[in-house]
């Protein structure tokens, strides 16, 4: 039997490594020593990390000292939420959106169990947060507003500049999870003056195991992991030097405008031909405010899990929700948040495109979607 040529349409879950890294691993491997060591080998590793910090900071128009390297974006999100409790205790009030990643929702739920008051602002039925709803939730005790820049499951983009302006007007620290934004769009923290921003390597063609937290004023940040003086005392644990170097190398080779120019026509091809190939489909989310690489939709009467399994057998990788919830039979959190009818909540799939997606991938995926939907409907 001929081996399947796999078509990968799950870039929001994770990305392949950027080709620029192929020739770099031997060079990265030379920085093997503990970067906290005082000998020459340690200094080589330390210099590599600090050079990478400068590159990543430059990519988002920040200062190097404002970046703290972490093991993941999930860790960085947890650190921000823990900072609220460490500084303000159980008397604090926190506002988050109903579309946040579980690495925001669950630590917020924990500090809520310790007495912190929490307001969750639900989106409209297209997945957009209303700024007025956030304004109405603000109290004298509000110590953080956290809103994800773009949701990973349905791709909806939030009005972050407007929410930030509201937070600044009320002297409230603001955090955004920019994991799905980094690399796809420009980030300029000189003009978007957020207090905290979360970044991830493996969502933009770098390895897993590296993330970063931007803190406008890192002096006030408290460590989430203790037990050493790494990252200027803000994150204990020996740094993942090779992954950090790779993260910086990838961003140095990233051109968001060029990536958008490649992907946007492919998404248009997907949307245009979907109506020709598939009957009774419906789009999910706000199509006017959506990541240019992401399409969430459902097919009436076709179970998403069954559809994804059929597509897998045909060599095409798609998602039914967040990879962090894989294996769960419950609809993705964002699907519940936008209040889709229950009959549709288990029908939604997500296709997310990336740097290596081709027009042939789209064509083959559309054919497989049509075939799979027909098989499931007539089973």
CB 134 within 8 A of CB 314: no
Please choose, from the candidates 181, 252, 234, the residue with its C-alpha nearest in 3D space to the C-alpha of residue 67.
234
CA distance 356 to 275: 24
Closest listed residue to residue 299, CA positions, set 358, 227, 243, 347: 347
- DSSP, collapsed to helix, strand or coil, labels residue 174 as strand
20 is an active site residue? no
Question: Which residue is catalytic, options 20, 130, 204, 324?
Answer: 324
Q: What ranges in 114-229 are assigned the alpha helix state H?
A: 131-137, 160-169
30: CB partners within 8 A, 6+ apart? 44
CA atoms within 13 A on the CB side of 371: 14
- SS3 of 239, please? coil
Q: Tokens 């519940």 sit at which residue? A: 336
Length, in residues, of the chain:
379
Biggest CA pair distance of the chain: 69
Q: Are 194 and 176 in contact (CB under 8 A)?
A: yes
In DSSP terms, 121 is beta-bridged to 97
Cα distance between residue 214 and residue 189, in whole Å: 10
Gyration radius of the chain over CA positions = 21
Locate 299 and state its tokens: 């097919």
The string of DSSP letters for 331-356 reads: PPHHHHHTT--HHHHTTEEEEE--TT
Q: What is the C-alpha to C-alpha distance for residues 46 and 42, in angstroms, rounded to an integer? A: 6
Tokens representing 377 are 């409907």
Which residues are annotated as catalytic? 324
């Amino acid at each position: 039997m001929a081996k399947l040529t796999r078509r990968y349409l799950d870039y929001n879950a994770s990305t392949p490594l950027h080709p620029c890294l192929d020739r770099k691993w031997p060079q990265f491997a030379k920085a093997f020593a503990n970067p906290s060591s005082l000998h020459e080998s340690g200094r080589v590793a330390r210099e590599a990390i600090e050079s990478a910090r400068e590159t990543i900071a430059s990519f988002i128009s920040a200062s190097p000292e404002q970046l703290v390297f972490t093991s993941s974006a999930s860790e960085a999100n947890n650190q921000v939420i823990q900072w609220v409790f460490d500084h303000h205790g159980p008397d604090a009030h926190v506002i988050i959106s109903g579309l946040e990643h579980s690495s925001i929702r669950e630590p917020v739920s924990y500090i809520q169990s310790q007495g912190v008051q929490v307001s969750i602002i639900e989106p409209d039925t297209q997945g957009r947060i209303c700024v007025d709803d956030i304004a109405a939730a603000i109290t004298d005790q509000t110590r953080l507003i956290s809103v994800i820049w773009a949701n990973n499951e349905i791709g909806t983009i939030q009005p972050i500049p407007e929410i930030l302006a509201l937070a600044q007007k009320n002297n409230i620290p603001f955090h955004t999870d920019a994991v799905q934004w980094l690399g796809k769009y420009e980030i300029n923290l000189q003009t978007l003056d957020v207090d905290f921003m979360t970044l991830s390597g493996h969502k933009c063609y770098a390895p897993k195991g590296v993330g970063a937290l931007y803190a406008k004023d890192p002096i006030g940040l408290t460590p989430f992991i203790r037990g050493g003086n790494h990252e200027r005392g803000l994150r204990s644990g020996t740094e993942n030097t090779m992954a950090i170097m790779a993260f910086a190398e990838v961003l140095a080779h990233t051109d968001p405008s060029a990536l958008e120019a490649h992907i946007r026509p492919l998404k248009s091809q997907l949307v245009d031909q979907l109506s020709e190939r598939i009957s009774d489909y419906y789009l999910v989310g706000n199509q006017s405010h959506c990541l240019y690489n992401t399409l969430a939709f459902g097919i009436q009467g076709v179970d998403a899990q069954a559809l994804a399994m059929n597509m897998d057998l045909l060599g095409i990788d798609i998602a039914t929700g967040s990879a962090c919830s894989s294996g769960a039979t419950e609809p993705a959190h964002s699907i519940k948040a936008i209040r889709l009818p229950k009959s549709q909540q288990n029908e939604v799939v997500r296709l997310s495109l990336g740097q290596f997606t081709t027009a042939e991938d789209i064509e083959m995926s559309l054919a497989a979607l049509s075939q799979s939907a027909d098989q499931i409907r007539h089973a």
